[in-house]
Chain A
Amino acid sequence: MSTRIAYTLYSLARMIREDRYFAAGFITILVVIILSAAASIISPYDPYKIDLINKLRGPSPEHPMGTDQLGRDLFTRILYGGRYTLFLSASAVLLALVIGLLVGTLSGYYKGWLDLIVQRFVDILMSFPSIILAIALATMLGYGLETLVIAVAIAESPFLIRVVRAAVISIRDLPYIEAVRLMGYGDLYVILRHVIPNIMYVVIPQVTLQMGSAILIIAALGFLGIGIKPPTPEWGSMLNEARAYLMDYPHLLIFPGLMIFLSIVSFNIVGESLKMRLDPKARSLIGSRSRLVWGLYRGGRRGLDERNTSY
């Protein structure tokens, strides 16, 4: 196990050294996560404390990003906001991953009627633009952090189910899997020990890309007033609050948006680079010429998904 971790770290270091795009994205994500986690150490301010005397100040040495309409330090709120936006997105993607692995593997491994039912169900979920699905679920399940995570996870899951299923189908009848089955091992063992580890090269990049999409949906829901509500600092809802002060205080608009944008771009770049590196099909099809292109192209019409669309 420890050699495996060492190898992963080694590969990571090599990718950072060899791939400028990956390095930039990866380091940005790392910095944002560390800053959010260490929010209470970095900033002396309370993200909720109202200070009306100092409201709507521009950036200054005491307040590097200025203060908002209630005099709260914007930089502090952005740091704390990262906790909400990133943590909720990560939880949603994790849940979507569990759903995707479970449903996708069963559907692809056993095929037959189960597969047929699952695929029709995925069709139904994909009949909604994913933001609409998330909005509908979040509204109907009621407000709350858990329901928000569940809604976004369900909206994200059809893509993962499809990807996992396709990968499982592509390897389920290969000789080495067949051999393990013939040795008398049960399906559960085959799936856990041989199928799932061998589809990770597709799943890991997809999950990273899905992170970008989840951040976008969480922030969009916050912006629309359906997700996290003020005074909780969340990047999307902070932007919503900033709308009223757009005319005279653009700093309220620039910083939260920039954070959402940077996080999404970084996860997308890291996802695309991972895909180039891990997926032999992606590499041979496009070649090194246009490394970032593959994710947008995906060799065909049905590969087109909506992971980056907010509308």
Chain B
Amino acid sequence: MGVLTVYIVKRVLLVLPTLIGVITMIFFLVRILPGDPTHLLAGEQASPEIIERLKAEFGLDRPIYEQYILYLKSVLTLDFGTSYRTYTPVIVEIMSRFPNTVILALSAMLIAIFAGIALGIVSALRVGSVIDRAVIIFTSIYVSMPVFWLGLLLIYFFAVQLKILPAGGIGSPAHVILPSLALSHTPLSYIARITRESILETLSQEHVRLAIARGLPLRSILINHVIRNSLINVITVIGYFTGVLLGGAVVTETVFAWPGIGRLLIESIAARDYIMIQGIVIFIAMIFIFVNLIVDITYRIIDPRVRL
């Protein structure tokens, strides 16, 4: 087996205990709570037959270790139970919303990647200049914007005042613009900063100095030696944020009434639909763990120095 294969196998094996840990934590969190978990899951006013059905479904009459094994088995096969609000399986509800979350996350990442890398390059190549300072100050401030405030401000300016973009909801490509702008603010700032820093770091390295000393055209040095090498660092950040954004842009989706899994979570909390809440939280953790796995493996392929 090649070194890479060994790394991948090891990394994948590390995922399992974490995943089981997440499920275990949620399992016990629901059960250490005061009161009967069936009441918690079905709501206070649940009728006796619902309670009975739940007890049978979750095997709550059986000993706790049996319950645990049962729970683990069903969750690992993506069976999160049935919502008592909509009477549909939780996974079906999640899957009907998840594509919207994916669309939002990907368009936000597109904005963040293009604008972030552009800002980072411009600022690094003019280090110390007014532009560089402006980029630094802008990204420090922009990253600290609470996304709900940024979102509401965007709605106020573009939807209420200028009336050029829809304030929320879904339907046309124009509906994606404001939420993805709001959602992109953190990854954009990080990407800009990391691009800038790694370009500055690469510029000071021997091979770049050598290229300059050899009298190669500056343009080709920048493109072939500097920017390309610097982007390795940026790729990890991109992967990381893709995971976070896919893991539910709860706040953004709420501000813009965007029907993704984040908003589904908030709706379920408002309706006290605990089965749904449990399912969504575990699903988000699964996505997050999975994307991190992909990012780690990709990074290992790009940069073979990485060790587990």
Contacts and interface: CB of A to CB of B under 8 A. Distances in A.
Interface of A: 120-121, 123-124, 127-129, 131-132, 135-137, 139-142, 212, 216, 219-220, 223-226, 236, 239, 242-243, 246-247, 250, 253, 257, 260-261, 264-265, 268-269, 286, 289-290, 292-293, 296-297, 301, 304, 306, 308-311
Nearest to B247: A129
Nearest to B34: A142
B154 to A, nearest CB: 11
Interface SS, B side: helix
Contact of B248 (A121, A129, A226): A129
Contacts, number: 162
Given A136-B281, A311-B183, A311-B248, A253 B156 contact: yes
B136 A129 contact: no
B18 A124 contact: yes
Nearest to A138: B269
Contacts of B254: 223-224
Given A123-B18, A132-B247, 6 more contacts: A124-B22, A132-B285, A226-B269, A257-B152, A269-B140, A309-B244
Given A127-B285, A224-B254, A246-B160, A261 B128 contact: no
Best-buried of B19, B148, B197 by chain A (most CB within 10 Å): B148
A219 B196 CA distance: 31
Interface SS, A side: helix
A135 B269 contact: yes
Nearest to B40: A140
Interface string B223-267: 000000000010011001000110111111010000000100110
A129 B33 contact: no
B186 A246 contact: no
Contacts of B189: 296
7 contacts: A127-B21, A129-B248, A131-B251, A136-B29, A239-B152, A257-B148, A310-B146
A127 B164 CA distance: 39
Interface string B1-34: 0000000000000000111011001100110010
B152 A304 contact: no
A81 to B, nearest CB: 14
B28 to A, nearest CB: 11
B251 A220 contact: yes
Given A246-B160, A253-B156, A264-B146, A139 B21 contact: no
Given A219-B146, A253-B153, A311-B252, A296 B193 contact: yes
A261 B145 contact: yes
A12 B34 CA distance: 47
Contact of B18 (A120, A236, A269): A120
A246 B152 contact: yes
Contacts of B194: 296-297
Contacts of B84: none
A296 B22 CA distance: 28
Given A120-B17, A290-B136, A236 B148 contact: yes
Given A257-B146, A257-B153, A301 B136 contact: no
Contacts of A124: 18, 21-22, 25
B139 to A, nearest CB: 8
B197 A297 contact: yes
Contacts of B29: 136-137, 140
Given A129-B248, A132-B248, A311-B183, A239 B149 contact: yes
A225 B270 CA distance: 8
B152 A139 contact: no
A221 to B, nearest CB: 10
B206 to A, nearest CB: 18
A97 to B, nearest CB: 21
Contacts of A301: 233, 236-237, 240, 299
Contacts of A310: 146-148, 186, 251
